[in-house]
Amino acid sequence: MRKPIHTDDEIIQIGEALRAKLSRDITATDIHKALGGKGKFSRVRDLWNAHEEAREEEQEADLPLPEECHDRISEAVVSLQRSMEALVRGVVVRMTEQSVRQSAIRDRDFALLEAEHSKQVQSLEAEVAYLTECLDELEVQAEGECEATVTESADLGPERASPQEPAPAAAALAAARKSPNRPLKKTPPSPRKPARQSPAKPKKSPGQAATPS
């Protein structure tokens, strides 16, 4: 391996000398020109960049912060922490209030719905009571009609009681009203009487039709 023309220390020293002379930041190009353009430029560049990074780290480590800066940093951290805590507390309070409002709205809706259903149930109960009362009245009326029919048949006697036979049918209707699942007993229809025919007129003989007037 060929020995380099300039050593690492020589390159660093030339760079620092140029920095002190020109009072500005030095680049690898400035150093390479100061070396007369001899040597590999990539080597000079890599070496100087590494030297600059190490120098900056040393300066940062060696430069202590004043006490005033430490106090300000501590105050800023405490203020930021308090702001974050206040922000979190505000978010929690808003979410809690929103949850309480939504719960109250749901309770109100449930109460209104329950009241409406209660009114509907009361209306249906009143209607059922009215229909039950009407049914009781109809049953009492039907029983009264059956008793009146039986009494009238008994007063007319056995001879005239036979044409009027609706009492069993009325009693069956009343029983069917009391027990709607019981089938009605059908009464057979009364037999029809044969129609009366007028007597046939005697036919006239041919001799009678020709009698003179």
Per-residue model confidence (pLDDT) at position 132: 92
Q: Please provide the average confidence, as pLDDT, over all residues in the chain.
A: 75
Q: Quick check: helix, strand or coil at residue 100?
A: helix
Does pTM surpass 0.75? no
Per-residue model confidence (pLDDT) at position 213: 37
Confidence of residue 131 (pLDDT cuts 50, 70, 90): very high
Per-residue model confidence (pLDDT) at position 24: 83
The tens digit of pLDDT for each residue in 26-66 reads: 888 888 888 888 878 888 888 888 888 888 877 666 556 67
The tens digit of pLDDT for each residue in 142-174 reads: 888 887 777 766 666 554 444 444 445 455 555
Start-to-end CA distance of the chain, whole Å, equals 183
Do 173 and 142 meet the contact criterion of CB atoms below 8 Å apart? yes
Per-residue model confidence (pLDDT) at position 73: 86
Per-residue model confidence (pLDDT) at position 155: 62
DSSP state of 4: P
The DSSP string of 37-55 is T-S-HHHHHHHHHHHHHHH
AA letter at 109: D
Q: How far apart are CA 83 and CA 68, in angstroms?
A: 22
Handedness of CA 158, 160, 162, 166 (dihedral sign): negative
Per-residue model confidence (pLDDT) at position 52: 86
Handedness of CA 7, 10, 12, 18 (dihedral sign): negative
* Res 96 pLDDT > 70: yes
* Res 178 pLDDT > 80: no
Record the tokens describing residue 80, joined without a space: 């930021």
The CA radius of gyration of the chain, in Å to the nearest whole number, is 64
Number of Cβ within a 10 Å radius of residue 166: 13
In the chain, where do the E strands start and end? none
